[in-house]
Amino acid sequence: ETGVTQTPRHLVMGMTNKKSLKCEQHLGHNAMYWYKQSAKKPLELMFVYNFKEQTENNSVPSRFSPECPNSSHLFLHLHTLQPEDSALYLCASSQETMDRRNSPLHFGNGTRLTVT
Amino acid sequence: SQKIEQNSEALNIQEGKTATLTCNYTNYSPAYLQWYRQDPGRGPVFLLLIRENEKEKRKERLKVTFDTTLKQSLFHITASQPADSATYLCALRTGGFKTIFGAGTRLFVKA
């Protein structure tokens, strides 16, 4: 069991649906991330939150909407997705300090999303 | 833009041999580089970090080298076992909170 828990593990949704992915970290970290992983492609960074503040938005379409109510929880709200958005969505966390910006990422096991 | 390249073809080796995976990067001079392991259906797991002033880093059967002149890192698994079969990802921090990844190399260790 990892210190980062993602739910649901699998999700099938139609293009007109609205759904949310949830991530919770039990590691006491202050930074949380959303990555997208498509087959045969590198992980793509989507969003970063540090102490609940969004610090990165990697030109992600507005049909993906992140929410970070506190340092332990991260959501990804989905609406009017396209079939090409089908992928594995990974949440990660890390402990960042001013003098230590090389902290490794701790990943959850992802949500496998299929858009029909 | 920064780019990381890893061998896209799977690596097949016999149990007991040394597996060597390559990571090349361009357009960046990272202070350090990370390696992760990913099993099917699971998230990546951090293995090792090597800093630019470290030529080599070891952890049990794992060894990582970092050549900032060649812009290359090599990842070695000695005395490989079938349980080492997985995808191995190379990653580097590009600034701020951005960590970028290579597409990974799939390793198969045959008994």
pLDDT class of B81 with cuts at 50, 70, 90:
very high
pLDDT for A58-116, tens place per residue? Answer: 889 999 999 999 999 999 999 999 999 999 999 999 998 766 667 899 999 999 999 99
Cβ-defined contact of A42 to B102 (cutoff 8 Å):
yes
Q: Which of A10, A95, A102, A103 to mutate to test the interface with B (most CBs of B within 10 A)?
A: A102
Q: Report the residue of chain A nearest B44, measured CA to CA.
A: A107
Biggest CA–CA distance in chain B, Å, is 43
From CA A26, how far away is CA A53, in angstroms rounded? 19
Q: What is the pLDDT of residue B77?
A: 98
As a whole number, mean pLDDT of residues B70-78 equals: 96
Average pLDDT along chain B: 93
Q: What is the pLDDT of residue B27?
A: 80
Find where tokens 């350090």 sit: B32
Q: Which of B34, B99, B100, B106 to mutate to test the interface with A (most CBs of A within 10 A)?
A: B99
Cβ-defined contact of A4 to B43 (cutoff 8 Å):
yes
pLDDT for A25-63, tens place per residue? Answer: 999 999 999 999 998 899 999 999 988 888 888 889 999
Cβ-defined contact of A55 to B101 (cutoff 8 Å):
no
Structure-model confidence comparison of residues B2 and A31, the more confident one: A31
Cβ-defined contact of B103 to A96 (cutoff 8 Å):
no
Q: Are B87 and B36 in contact (CB under 8 A)?
A: no
Q: What distance in Å separates residue B41's CA from the closest CA in chain A?
A: 7
A66 touches chain B (CB under 8 A): no
Structure-model confidence comparison of residues B105 and A96, the more confident one: B105
Cβ-defined contact of A102 to B49 (cutoff 8 Å):
yes
pLDDT for B17-41, tens place per residue? Answer: 999 999 999 888 788 899 999 999 9
Q: Report the residue of chain B nearest A97, measured CA to CA.
A: B97
Size of interface A-B (CB pairs under 8 A): 61
Give whole-number Cα distances, B62 to A59, A79, B4, in Å: 36, 43, 21
Q: What is the pLDDT of residue A99?
A: 64
Structure-model confidence comparison of residues B16 and A41, the more confident one: B16
Q: What is the pLDDT of residue A21?
A: 98
pLDDT class of B7 with cuts at 50, 70, 90:
confident
Q: What is the pLDDT of residue B75?
A: 97
| CB nearest B93 (choices: A33, A101, A109) | A101
From CA A39, how far away is CA A33, in angstroms rounded? 20
Q: What is the pLDDT of residue A100?
A: 63
From CA A112, how far away is CA B9, in angstroms rounded? 24
pLDDT for A84-100, tens place per residue? Answer: 999 999 999 999 876 66
